[in-house]
Amino acid sequence: MPDLTPGLRAELARIAGPDALLTDPADCWPYGYDNSRRQALPQAVIFARDEAQIARLVRLCADTGLPLIARGRGTGTTGATVPDRGGIVLSFERMDRIRRFAPEDRLIIVEPGLTNARLQQAVGQAGFFWPPDPTSAAVCTIGGNLAYNSAGPRAVKYGTPRENTLGLRAVNGTGAIFQTGVLTTKGVVGYDLTRLLIGSEGTLAIITEATLKLTPLPEAKRTLRAAYTDVHTAARAVSALMAQPVLPCALEFMDSTAIALARSQSELDLPQDTGALLMIEVDGPASCIDEAQKAVVEAARLSGLLELRLAQTAAEVAALWQVRKALSPALRQIAPKKINEDVVVPVSQLGKFVDGLTQLGQESGIRIVNFGHAGNGNLHVNLLIDPDDPAQVERAAQCLEAVFALVLRLGGTLSGEHGVGLEKRAFVGKELDPIALDLMRAIKSQFDPQGILNPGKTLPLA
Amino acid sequence: MPDLTPGLRAELARIAGPDALLTDPADCWPYGYDNSRRQALPQAVIFARDEAQIARLVRLCADTGLPLIARGRGTGTTGATVPDRGGIVLSFERMDRIRRFAPEDRLIIVEPGLTNARLQQAVGQAGFFWPPDPTSAAVCTIGGNLAYNSAGPRAVKYGTPRENTLGLRAVNGTGAIFQTGVLTTKGVVGYDLTRLLIGSEGTLAIITEATLKLTPLPEAKRTLRAAYTDVHTAARAVSALMAQPVLPCALEFMDSTAIALARSQSELDLPQDTGALLMIEVDGPASCIDEAQKAVVEAARLSGLLELRLAQTAAEVAALWQVRKALSPALRQIAPKKINEDVVVPVSQLGKFVDGLTQLGQESGIRIVNFGHAGNGNLHVNLLIDPDDPAQVERAAQCLEAVFALVLRLGGTLSGEHGVGLEKRAFVGKELDPIALDLMRAIKSQFDPQGILNPGKTLPLA
C-alpha cells in the first residue's frame, strides 16, 4: 500500500471536507475492527457525506492504489470491513438520512448509514416494516445489511435484502456514479445489477443510496415453543411447518447442546428429556391469528413431540424465549472464544447435519453448540475454544474444515447471512463452481479495474 | 453471418445427435417467430438434449461466429427469440424433464423446456405451486419465464422468477458449463449470478437447468370486483389495498377504454358509469378467508366506489371475470394490429398515467386500451392500429415514444415482465443509467466474448 504522503493527506482532507478526516492512529483504530475480533489500522478514516465526495475519493484511491473499505457500524462477523491491507476506511455513520418515504408506493429511499432500527421506527409509524432484521438491528446499518445480504429470523417468511430492495445508487471502482433497478416491484430492463451488488461486500461498488421495498406490519403475532425428543423429529417438524400454507414468521431451532448450555446457566421450565427445541412464531391479521396458530400447532404435532406451549401475553412470550435468550450470555461465559459459523443445509438434511456435528465434536474434543434459523436451514454452529490452548486451536481449525465439508456434502452453503469477508475466503472455493468463480473475478475486475474496493475480501485469493 | 457450408452442417448434425437437426427452410420457419409477429429464418434448428451437447454447440458457434438463440415455445412478445441475424435456433421443447422434486425442501429441479403448466401440475399434486403464472402458462416454458423474468398476476403477492429461483446451471458464450446459486432460501457466498442470468434473455448464457423455490398452495381463494367512478379513485384503492397486511394475490385493473371495449362486445352486468374496474383476489387458509375478504373489502371501499361484488361459487367467479376475459377477443376483433406495451409506474402514479394516456390518445387519434396488474403498477397499454394505414402507423410510433417518455417521467420502467428483445431495444437507453449500461455491456462481453448468444437483443445497439 502507498504511504500517506503530506500531499496525499492534504488531498484527502480536501475531498473529505471539514471535520471528516481522521489520520491519527489513536483516532483510526476504532474503525479498524469488526465483530470477528480481527483488527487492523487504517491509514485514514473519512466520513462519507455524499455521492460526489465518495466519487472523488474513489478516483483518488484508483489513481494512487490506496485500498478503500466502506464501513457501517462494524457489526459484521467476517472481517469484511477490517483494513488488513491498510488504506482508507469510509465510514457511513454520518450519511444516514432518509431521502424519501413514499408509503403510497410502499418504498423508502435511504442513505446507507441509516441503522436498521431507525429505519424500522420511521416506517413503523406508517404501518410498515422492512423485513431484514439481523440480531444487531439496533446498531447495524442498511448499507451493511445490503453488503452481506443479512437477514435474520423473519427471512423465513419475508425474504432477505435481495427480495426486499428495488434499486441502488453506487460508485464503482473508477469513481463512476450509477443507478440500478427501479421504483416498482416489477421491472426487467437490462441486467439485474441491484442483486449483483447486494451481498458483494463492497468489492464491486460503494452503495450510496438504497430504495427499499416495504411490507405492511402484521396486526398480530403468536409465539409457540415445541420440545422434541430428538433432532430428527424436530427436523421433520420443520419440513412439515414449511410445507403448509401458514408460513411461520420465525422458526428457530436449538439442539441438545444448546439446551444443555442454557440449562447450565439457569433453571429452565422445559421437559428433562428435550433433545431439540423449536421456537415458532406466526403473524397475520388479528382476526385470523387463532386459526394460523392452529395450523402451525397441527404441523408441529408429530410423534416425538414432548411439549407444545403457547404464549398469549407479552410475559408468556418472554418466558418462552427465555431458553433461547439464555444462550448468548451462556456462550460468552463458558468459552473465552467461540467460532460462530453461519452455514445452511437443505431443511431435509438438518437431522443428518446435527448428527454429523455431534460426531465431529466427539472426534475433535471440541464442544459444539448449534442453534439458528431452521426454516431456512440456516444454523449457527458455535465451536467453543480456549484461544490460549494451541492444540485446541489447531483441532478446532481442523474441525471447522470438516464442518464445512459436511455442509457441502449435504448440499448446503457456507454462509447464509454473515458473508465471507476474510474468515471464509479460504473455503468458498470449495463451494463455488470454478467457472462461476472465474466469471465473478471477471466482474470484479470490470467494476473495479484497479482492485481498490475492499481488496482481498469475498472471493478466494487467486 | 457465416454460410452453412456442408462441413459446418455435418458438424451440426454430429453435435445435434439423431433426429435433432433441421436445416430445410420449410422446417425451420416455424422456429423463427414469436408472439411479436416478427419472423426471420434461422439457418438451422437444433433440439436441445443435454448440457454437453449444448456446450459443444456453443463452442462451434463461438468458433464460427454463428448466432445461437435459445427458444422455448415462442410465446414471447418482443422478438427476443427471433433470429433476425440468422444463426441457429436451439429449441428446448424436448429438454423438458423434471430432474428432482424435493417437497421436503420445497424445491424442484427442472429442465428449461418444461412448460409452466406441467410444472404446476407436478408440484400441485404435492400441495405446492411455483408463483410465476404468465397468461401463456399453458404453453410457455420455465426457460422462457426465466429469460424475461415473466410473472403474471400472482407476482403482486408471491414475486417474480427472481424471487422464486434458487439456482441455475448454464453454458456461457465460450461453451463453459457453470452452476449458480444454492439449494436453500438463504446463501451469500460469491456474487449473485442467478439473478444476473434471470431476465437476461439468453444473451449472457444458455440456462440448462433451474432449481425453483416452491410455495405451499393456499387452501382457499375469494374473488371480488370493484367498480369505481374514475381511475383516480381506483388508483387510491390500489394504494390502500397494498398498504394493509392482507396482500391480494391478484389485483387487476381495467380503465374506461377497456371497459367500453368489453361492453361493445357483450352485455356486461356492470354499473353504467363505471370509469375503472379492479378485480381483487385474496387467498389463504380456509378458516381465515372470510376475514381476509373483509380486510380487502374495507380497503377497497372508498368514496367513488360504485359497486363491490363478491363471488363465492365457481360460476360467480367466472361471471366476475367475464368483463376481463371479454377483453382479449374484443381487442383481436376490432383492431387488425395492436401494439401491446408492458410498462410499469409507481402505484401512486397510476391515475396520472392513465390521464396522460387519454391525452396522448386524443392528440394522436390512436385508440388506447389499458388494463393490467395494478398492484405492481404494471399496465398493459394497447395501441390499436390498422397496419395498412401508413399515416396511422407513423402516428402510433410517435404516440408510443410519448407513452414511454411519460412512463419514465413518472418514475416507471419500460418493461415489467415481457422484456426488451428487439421491440424495446431502441428505447431502453432512455431508462438505463449510462454508466450502468456500460457495466452491462462489459458483463455481456465477458460472458459471451464472441457475441454469439442472442446477438443484438436486450441491450441497445452500441
pLDDT, tens digit only, all 462 positions of chain A:
789 999 999 999 999 999 999 999 999 999 999 999 899 999 999 999 999 999 999 999 999 999 999 999 999 999 999 999 999 999 999 999 999 999 999 999 999 999 999 999 999 999 999 999 998 999 999 999 999 999 999 999 999 999 999 999 999 999 999 999 999 999 999 999 999 999 999 999 999 999 999 999 999 999 999 999 999 999 999 999 999 989 999 999 999 999 999 888 878 889 999 999 999 999 998 888 999 999 999 999 999 999 999 997 999 998 888 888 888 778 878 888 888 889 999 999 999 999 999 999 999 999 999 999 999 999 999 999 998 999 999 999 999 999 999 999 999 999 999 999 999 999 999 999 999 999 999 999 999 999 999 999 999 998
Q: Is residue A296 part of a domain?
A: yes
Count the helices and strands in chain B (H runs, E runs): 15, 18
Q: Is residue B386 part of a domain?
A: no
Q: Is residue B442 part of a domain?
A: no
Q: Test B344 with A106 for CB contact under 8 angstroms.
A: no
Which band of pLDDT confidence, cut at 50, 70 and 90, is reported for residue B459? very high
Give me the residue from A196, A412, A418 closest to B192, CB to CB.
Answer: A196
Give the DSSP H/E element, type plus range, for residue B64: helix B51-64
Average pLDDT for B313-324: 88
**DSSP-based three-state secondary structure for B39:** strand
Sort out which chain A residues have CB atoms less than 8 A from B415's CB and list them. Answer: 187-189
Q: Test B347 with A106 for CB contact under 8 angstroms.
A: yes
* Residue at a domain's end among A313, A328, A343: A328
User: Phi and psi at residue A95, in whole multiples of 5°?
Assistant: -105, 80
Give me the pLDDT at residue B267, please.
Answer: 82
Sort out which chain B residues have CB atoms less than 8 A from A216's CB and list them. Answer: 242-245, 247
- Hey, of B77, B106, B188, B408, which one would you mutate to test binding to chain A, going by the most A CBs within 10 A of its CB? B188
Give me the pLDDT at residue A47, please.
Answer: 98
Q: Test B188 with A420 for CB contact under 8 angstroms.
A: yes
Same domain, B280 and B308: yes
Q: Test A239 with B104 for CB contact under 8 angstroms.
A: yes
* Residue at a domain's end among B298, B328, B358: B328
In whole angstroms, give the CA distance from residue B117 to residue B139: 7
Same domain, A169 and A122: yes
Give me the residue from A348, A415, A428 closest to B104, CB to CB.
Answer: A348
Q: Nearest Cα to B343, choosing from B371, B384, B385?
A: B371
Rg of chain A (C-alpha set) = 23
Q: Test B188 with A378 for CB contact under 8 angstroms.
A: no
Q: Is residue B268 part of a domain?
A: yes
Same domain, A70 and A131: no
CB of B459 closer than 8 Å to CB of B440: yes
How far from chain centre, in Å, is Cα A314?
A: 27
* Residue at a domain's end among A328, A352, A379: A328
Give me the pLDDT at residue B325, please.
Answer: 82
Which band of pLDDT confidence, cut at 50, 70 and 90, is reported for residue B126? very high
Structural domain span for residue B23: 6-91
Give me the residue from B186, B285, B348 closest to A102, CB to CB.
Answer: B348
Q: Is residue B155 part of a domain?
A: yes
Same domain, B58 and B72: yes
DSSP tag of A304 = T
Give me the pLDDT at residue B333, please.
Answer: 82
In whole angstroms, give the CA distance from residue A55 to residue A208: 10
Mind telling me how many Å the CA of A266 is from chain B's nearest CA?
Answer: 33
Give me the pLDDT at residue A288, please.
Answer: 87
In whole angstroms, give the CA distance from residue A436 to residue B193: 8
Mind telling me how many Å the CA of B216 is from chain A's nearest CA?
Answer: 5
Sort out which chain A residues have CB atoms less than 8 A from B160's CB and list them. Answer: 186
The chain A residue lying nearest B350, using CA atoms, is: A105
Into how many domains does chain B fold? 3
Same domain, A233 and A290: yes
Sort out which chain B residues have CB atoms less than 8 A from A180's CB and list them. Answer: 433, 436
Which band of pLDDT confidence, cut at 50, 70 and 90, is reported for residue B265? confident
Q: Is residue A404 part of a domain?
A: no
**DSSP-based three-state secondary structure for A333:** helix
Q: What is the Cβ-side half-sphere exposure of residue B320, based on CA atoms within 13 angstroms? A: 23
Sort out which chain B residues have CB atoms less than 8 A from A440's CB and list them. Answer: 190-191, 193
Vertex A337: Cα angle to A334 and A339 (nearest 5): 115
Q: Test A285 with B246 for CB contact under 8 angstroms.
A: yes
Give me the pLDDT at residue B399, please.
Answer: 96
Q: Test B188 with A199 for CB contact under 8 angstroms.
A: yes
- The cell 470491513 sits on which residue? A81
DSSP tag of A5 = -
Q: Test B242 with A106 for CB contact under 8 angstroms.
A: yes
* Domain containing residue B234: CATH number: 3.30.70.2190
**DSSP-based three-state secondary structure for A260:** helix
Same domain, A322 and A277: yes
Same domain, B32 and B135: no
Mind telling me how many Å the CA of B207 is from chain A's nearest CA?
Answer: 13
Is pLDDT at B266 greater than 90 in this prediction? no
Q: Test A377 with B185 for CB contact under 8 angstroms.
A: yes
In whole angstroms, give the CA distance from residue A443 to residue A432: 15
Same domain, A111 and A208: yes
The chain A residue lying nearest B123, using CA atoms, is: A243
Mind telling me how many Å the CA of A95 is from chain B's nearest CA?
Answer: 23
Sort out which chain A residues have CB atoms less than 8 A from B177's CB and list them. Answer: 435
Give me the residue from A219, A243, A346 closest to B216, CB to CB.
Answer: A243
Same domain, A173 and A234: no
Same domain, A123 and A27: no
Q: Nearest Cα to B64, choosing from B31, B92, B87?
A: B87
The 10 Å CB-count burial string (b at 16+, else e) for B61-99 is: bbebebbbbbbbbbbbbbbbbbbbebbbbbbbeebbeee
Q: Test A190 with B419 for CB contact under 8 angstroms.
A: no
Sort out which chain B residues have CB atoms less than 8 A from A376's CB and list them. Answer: 184-186
Burial class, A133, CB count within 10 angstroms (exposed 0-12 / middle 13-18 / buried 19+): buried
Question: Among positive and negative, which fits the CA dihedral B161, B162, B166, B167?
Answer: positive
Same domain, A167 and A268: no
Sort out which chain A residues have CB atoms less than 8 A from B348's CB and list them. Answer: 102, 104-105
* Domain containing residue A25: CATH number: 3.30.43.10
- Per-residue model confidence as pLDDT tens digits over B205-244: 999 999 999 999 999 999 999 999 999 999 999 999 999 9
Give me the pLDDT at residue A94, please.
Answer: 98
Average pLDDT for B115-139: 96
Mind telling me how many Å the CA of B304 is from chain A's nearest CA?
Answer: 18
Give me the residue from B204, B288, B411 closest to A183, CB to CB.
Answer: B411
Q: Test B216 with A447 for CB contact under 8 angstroms.
A: no
Give me the pLDDT at residue A75, please.
Answer: 95
Sort out which chain B residues have CB atoms less than 8 A from A189's CB and list them. Answer: 413-415, 420, 424, 428, 431-432
Sort out which chain B residues have CB atoms less than 8 A from A444's CB and list them. Answer: 191
Q: Is residue B25 part of a domain?
A: yes
Same domain, B304 and B272: yes
Give me the pLDDT at residue B51, please.
Answer: 98
Q: Test B418 with A188 for CB contact under 8 angstroms.
A: yes
Mind telling me how many Å the CA of B127 is from chain A's nearest CA?
Answer: 8
Give me the pLDDT at residue A315, please.
Answer: 92
Sort out which chain B residues have CB atoms less than 8 A from A185's CB and list them. Answer: 155-156, 376-377
The 10 Å CB-count burial string (b at 16+, else e) for B161-180 is: bbbbbbbbbbbbbbbbbbbb
What is the amino acid identity at position A164?
A: N
* Domain containing residue A196: CATH number: 3.30.465.10
- Hey, of A133, A246, A439, A457, which one would you mutate to test binding to chain B, going by the most B CBs within 10 A of its CB? A439
Q: Is residue B97 part of a domain?
A: no
